[in-house]
Amino acid sequence: MLNSPKCNSPWGLVHYSSSLAKTICIFDQAAGYVFRKMIMVSLDENLLIEKIQEGDQLAWSELVLRYEGRLTNYAKGKIKDHASCQDLVQETFLGFLSKINNFDASRSIQSYLFGILSNKIADLLRSREKSRTVENPVDSSGNYKVSPFIDPAMGASTWYRGDEKRKLENLALTQGLALLISELTQKKEYIKLKTIELLFVNALSNKEAANILGISNRTVATYRYFANNFIIDNLKELDLSPDVFPEFSEQDSDS
Amino acid sequence: MIISKAILDAFIDDHLLEQDNIRVEKAVRESPELQARLSNIIASRDMGDHSIGAIWRREHLSCPSREELLSYQDEALDHQRIDYIKFHLETVGCKACKANLSDLNPSNSFEVDPAIREKHLQFLENSKVLLPKKS
């Protein structure tokens, strides 16, 4: 496995960078140990956020101008009605602004905005779908219908784990993935990166990925194994259990 | 096609390849069990749980930067990188990068239309009331 950089300072020392991400060492006193936090934003973005948090109108205009075009194009890719696209983008900005004081500076503004917009697009498409197929959520006695397939115990472990723990797990997984992608990019191991991307991002099977890339199933299986181990090792380094991510125990049946 | 959790996850994020997306959408419409699994995944996400694929997609971890996309447009990158970005755009089908690439093309500027420009300025003006108050 490729070695990840070690932290040697408790206070914000940038020790790793690439075009994809910068990693900063942070000492988290609440958690009681050092962990590395992925910073995928440029400094001027942080400054922009700070200024908006202070009520700076020019900074707000700058942020809207900077992201409006790409967000609108993204919405247009999913919704044909352009007026709705513009409305959704504006609602996205309003949603962002309403929570500006709680914005997590470790997140990229672009990813955050695309996330809000994706949810708004999904809500709109769902509401349009519902208006075509009228649903009756209550039975004849007036009780809400419950699907027989919904597991009532779903999410028990999730609740048990608590918010902070989940945040830490997601942060660690993000970090592990970013490190993996960055290392493969730096080493120009693009065939490995392409394979892993098809498996994780597009959820293809080993066989499907092998067909697209023109490599053997066995090679794909090897790359999947490599990626899983890389991320698991990274989680273990942070004293986190990979068991909470069930994908690691799932093996592709056609490998 | 066996519909795994990873496939449903990618379906929620609209990140399946086109043919797979059509197949899954049809299967979900026809199967109450799949609909329930989909609801469970969404509920689990709302509580903060995320799969590898969901995190990768949400954080755009393999997306090239805007600067790199500009260089890609000008073919000012090494051929391996150009090949990878082409794969990311066309095979993976990254909609965020496609939106960025389109935004980098000056002829696609959304501000060309005066009506849109007016609406944009109006929005900026109206949204200012939501800005935190200067201390």
CATH T-level fold of A11-39+166-237:
Arc Repressor Mutant, subunit A (1.10.10)
In the beta sheet, which residues pair with residue B117?
none
Mutant choice from B1, B39, B56 vs A, greatest count of A C-beta within 10 A = B56
A143 CB-near residues (< 8 Å, 6+ apart): none
Mean pLDDT, all residues of chain B? 86
The shortest CB-CB distance from B103 to any of A70, A158, A246 is to: A70
Using CB atoms, pick whichever of B16, B51, B128 lies closest to residue A247. Answer: B51
Contact A91/B at CB under 8 A: no
Q: Which helix (H) or strand (E) holds A23?
A: strand A22-28
What is the reported pLDDT for B46?
73
Residue A188's SS3 state is coil
Q: From CA B114, how far away is CA B112, in angstroms rounded? A: 6
Query: Does the beta-carbon distance from A97 to B58 stay under 8 Å?
Result: no
Measured in degrees and rounded to the nearest 5, phi and psi for residue A25 equal -85, 130
Q: Which two tokens stand for residue B59?
A: 């954080």
CATH code for A43-129?
1.10.1740.10
The two three-digit tokens of residue B99, written as one number:
């939106």
**Can you read off the two tokens belonging to residue B8?**
């449903």
B67: confidence class by pLDDT, cuts 50, 70, 90: very high
For residue A128, the model assigns a pLDDT of 74
Looking at residue A181, its pLDDT comes to 96
Q: Which of residues 38-57 of A touch B (CB under 8 A)?
A: 40, 52-57
Chain A contact present for B117, CB below 8 A: no
Identify the residue among A197, A205, A228 best suited for mutation to test binding to B, counting B beta carbons within 10 A and taking the highest: A197
At A53-67, the pLDDT tens digits run 999 988 999 899 899
Question: Residues A189-236: pLDDT tens digits?
Answer: 999 999 999 999 998 999 999 999 999 999 999 999 999 999 988 888
Q: How far is B117 from chain A (nearest CA, A)?
A: 11
Provide the 8-state DSSP code for B63. P
A188 touches chain B (CB under 8 A): yes
User: Nearest 5°: CA angle at A115, between A246 and A227?
Assistant: 35
- Cα distance between the two ends of chain A: 21
Beta bridge partners of A39: A22
Q: b/e map of A147-171 (b: 16 or more CB within 10 Å)? A: eeeeeeebbeebeebeeeebebbbb
User: Which comes out higher in pLDDT, residue B38 or A135?
Assistant: B38
Q: Give the tokens for residue A109.
A: 């503004």
Say yes or no for a CB contact (<8 Å) between B133 and A55.
yes
Q: Which residues of B touch A197 (CB under 8 A)?
A: 56, 62, 88, 92
Mean pLDDT of B90-106: 91
Residue of A nearest to B17 (CA): A202
Count of CB atoms within 10 A of residue A105's CB?
Answer: 12
Residue, of A162 and B91, whose pLDDT is higher? B91
- The full set of domain ranges for chain A reads 11-39+166-237, 43-129
Interface test with A, best of B7, B17, B52, B92 (most A CBs within 10 A): B52
Q: Which chain A residues are Cβ-neighbours of B123 within 8 angstroms?
A: 64, 90, 93
B32, B57, B131: residue with CB nearest A147: B32
Output the pLDDT for position A154.
Answer: 38
Q: What share of chain A is helix, strand, coil (3-state, %, to 5)?
A: 60, 10, 30
- State yes or no: pLDDT of B82 exceeds 50: yes
- What is the structure's pLDDT at A90? 93
Å from B53 to nearest chain A CA? 5
Work out the minimum CA distance from B16 to partner chain A, whole angstroms: 5
Q: What is the pLDDT of residue A129?
A: 67
What residue ranges of chain A have pLDDT lower than 50? Answer: 1-41, 133-161, 253, 255
- Looking at beta carbons, which residues of chain B come within 8 Å of A111? 58-60
